[in-house]
Amino acid sequence: MVIGAFATHFGTTQGTGGLLEDEQHRALPVMGGLSDREAHGVRYSWVFPNMVIATGAEGMWMYEVHPDGPDRCRCSQVVCFPPETVALPGFGEVAGSYYERFDVAINEDIPMLEQQHLGMRSPFAAQGRFSYLEPNVARFASWYSERLLSAD
């Protein structure tokens, strides 16, 4: 069980989670000191209420979200690589493939998030069960409700 203002999970990957499928041949080297398991997956950690950090075998990427109102938000993205990786010849060109992958992911998420916001404004929207596929969503809801209860 996770205690505190975060949730985390680890998922194994085929290749690197930092690149699109057709760009896997461009993978940067795995960071030194990782176990075999860590070298073949990504750890996703949500720092409540507005940040997700993903640590992969060759780098780290982070999204931070700030609301601009009830139906708008800003999302900042940061990608980090170890200094020895950044110093490799051709790093800038290869890093571009990583940046593209993260841009593709966020651009896939935006329309889905917009639809979720529309659905939440519907008078017919009712809270349902959380999917067993998204335990961290339920963890966030529990954390948030604890904040509301402690505010009384």
Arithmetic mean of pLDDT, 68-88? 91
* pLDDT for res 99: 93
Identify the band that residue 122 occupies on the pLDDT scale cut at 50, 70 and 90.
Answer: confident
CA distance readout (Å), 48 to 6, 66, 119: 5, 12, 23
CA 86 – CA 75 distance, rounded (Å): 25
* pTM metric for this prediction: 0.81
* pLDDT for res 129: 76
**Which among 44, 54, 48 is positioned nearest to 140, based on CA atoms?**
48
**Bigger pLDDT: 112 vs 81:** 81
* pLDDT for res 1: 60
